[in-house]
A = this chain, B = another copy of it.
Amino acid sequence: MATIKDVAKLAGVSVSTASVALRGKGPVSEATRRRVIEAARALDYQPNAIARSLVTRRTRTVGLLLSDLTDPYFHEIAKGVEAVLSRAGYALILADTDRSPEKELRAYEIFRSQQVAGMILAGSGTEDEAHFEQLEKRDVPIVTLGRHRSGLPCVAVDNVQAAKTAAQHLIETGCRRIGLIAGPPGLLAAEERREGYLAALAEHGLSPDPRWMLVGDFTPAGGYRAAMELFTARGLDRHDRPDGLVAGNDQMAIGALKALRELGIRVPEEIAVVGIGGIPTGEYVEPPLTTVALPLKTMGEAAAQMLLCRIERGGGSLPEQHEEHIWLETTLLVRSSTRARSAR
């Protein structure tokens, strides 16, 4: 690849002049500017971002760390992040942690060594305090998605409220025996949603049968297994069965729906199901999934914006910025997997 030296030589100017001319910064005569630009075009010159970064001591790359590339939850988030970043002229470097804290740490170090201008942490396998301390090197701005316990800046959603909304909707549409397929223990979002579910029930004086509470792993297969267990292995007779089900996320809800279909249990007549997340697929399953939708794309955009803002105002994460949080609203999306309100 041609270097700026080649361009300078071809244009018959010094390297420094070429540099200045190409970026239109300092004072250059119109004539030389044209000559330099022409030379650059002729040589198909692309500035070497690496060399540039070395001297300016900043890159235009940000790292995005997520726990599973394959999880639809992240897709719109990633899209939002990418959109904002690329518009701002930043490149996105990406790592999948497979929900392993070690991998996350490794990726974090790689990002640091790549001198990323900042990074976005979206979902890990752990919310461990000690873990976060490792990330607190302070020399690179960080924004997290949904880890508001970490002490790091964060864009998040009120998971407690989201689950509460989900359960309330079931209650309002006539359900009284409401079960839960919770997400994996140890994951903040999962815990909070369980909490919201319990709170909603308590507020309405309902106490859930422990047999109605299951644990999944946020995958459709996990939701499927959980629902199967609920209806086949827990010794529930017709009157013990839940008539409503909150799933910790849409994917588990979708898996559960499949199980219920196979068991011949009608949704929403015999049991209403509500998810949390608002992934696009929810619209295409049978019945279409009622869900508490998270503003996924907006979350990605907001995180990227916030990071950019931190990057521009320079320096690592200053202490006073630390408590910065953005809370986004969720919205209940009523489709057919729950009863219509009038039909209660």
Q: Quick check: is A343 within 8 A (CB to CB) of the other chain? A: no
Q: Quick check: is A329 within 8 A (CB to CB) of the other chain? A: no
Chain B residue with the shortest CB-CB distance to A51: B54
Residues of B within 8 A of A51 (CB): 54
**Given A50-B53, A114-B50, is A75 in contact with B69 using a C-beta cutoff of 8 Å?**
yes
Number of A residues with CB within 8 Å of any CB on chain B: 50
| Bound CA–CA A112/B280 (angstroms) | 34
Determine, out of A16-24, A86-94, A187-195, the stretch whose residues face the partner at the interface.
A86-94
* Interchain CB contact under 8 A, B69 and A109: no
Choose one: B82, B91, B94, B255; the contact of A284 (CB below 8 Å).
B255
| Bound CA–CA A110/B59 (angstroms) | 13
Determine, out of A27-35, A41-49, A170-178, the stretch whose residues face the partner at the interface.
A41-49
Chain B residue with the shortest CB-CB distance to A251: B284
| Bound CA–CA A115/B61 (angstroms) | 13
Q: Quick check: is A113 within 8 A (CB to CB) of the other chain? A: yes
* Interchain CB contact under 8 A, B284 and A49: no
Chain B residue with the shortest CB-CB distance to A77: B69
Residues of B within 8 A of A284 (CB): 220, 254-255, 257-258, 281, 285
| Bound CA–CA A110/B53 (angstroms) | 14
A314 nearest CB across to chain B (Å): 15
Chain B residue with the shortest CB-CB distance to A220: B284
For this chain, the copies found in one complex come to 2
**Given A82-B94, A91-B93, A284-B255, is A115 in contact with B75 using a C-beta cutoff of 8 Å?**
no
Q: Which chain A residues in 30-88 approach chain B with CB under 8 Å?
A: 44, 46-51, 53-54, 59, 61, 69-70, 72, 75-76, 78-79, 82-83, 86
Residues of B within 8 A of A48 (CB): 54, 113, 115
Q: Quick check: is A102 within 8 A (CB to CB) of the other chain? A: no
Q: Quick check: is A261 within 8 A (CB to CB) of the other chain? A: yes
* Interchain CB contact under 8 A, A91 and B95: yes
Most buried by B among A51, A79, A112, A284: A284
New A-B contacts (10) at CB < 8 Å, excluding given A91-B93, A285-B286: A46-B112, A47-B113, A50-B50, A50-B54, A72-B75, A82-B95, A93-B93, A220-B284, A255-B284, A285-B285
Report which A residues bind B (CB closer than 8 A). 1, 44, 46-51, 53-54, 59, 61, 69-70, 72, 75-76, 78-79, 82-83, 86, 91-96, 107, 109-110, 112-115, 137, 139, 220, 254-255, 257-258, 261, 280-281, 283-286, 288
**15 residue pairs A–B, Cβ–Cβ below 8 Å:** A46-B109, A47-B113, A50-B53, A50-B114, A50-B115, A54-B54, A69-B78, A69-B79, A82-B94, A91-B110, A220-B280, A258-B284, A261-B286, A281-B281, A285-B285
